[in-house]
Amino acid sequence: MTNEELQQWVEQISLNSFGRPFLHRASFNTRLRSTGGRYFMKTHHIEISQMHYDTFGTEEVEKIIKHELCHYHLHLQRKGYKHRDADFKRLLQEVGGSRFCQPLPGKRREEPYRYRLVCGSCGMEYPRKRKTDPRKYVCGKCRGKLRLFALNIEGK
């Protein structure tokens, strides 16, 4: 699919689902990996992940487009356009957009926790991916002193 075809598709979804025209630019971005799309508040343009289109097809990308159009139309109407706003959540539910996009397979791997902070008083554990200074923190449960432990990770 080309950018021109995407532009027409976004305009059609905007008229059919929102009853309002989309008057700005929509284009694919091949560098988007962790997100399905972006809405730019200054220019009102929308970018859609080319990888999501190639991987998941039109059905998933249509939900992403509806999500970005919710940001677009609510922002132009000066209503709550952010993810946490009730207006955004309500409109997204009405049009059938997705709240989150599906993660791309194999593109992101979660590192295991390498460290663990343990409270000396109550034994509460706090897993950490990065090494932290336990003197800067106290237990959130009992305000006791914390100790840092390194976990054994295979292959390191």
Of residues 4, 60, 68, 111, which has the active-site annotation? 68
Task: State phi, psi for 74 to the nearest 5 degrees.
Answer: -70, -40
Active-site residue flag, 59: no
Reduce the DSSP state of residue 97 to 3 states and report it. coil
β-pairing verdict for 46-49 and 115-119: unpaired
Q: Could you give the strand order of the β-sheet that contains 37-39, starting from the edge strand earlier in sequence?
A: 26-29, 46-49, 37-39
Q: Could you give the strand order of the β-sheet that contains 146-150, starting from the edge strand earlier in sequence?
A: 125-128, 115-119, 146-150
Residues with catalytic function? 68
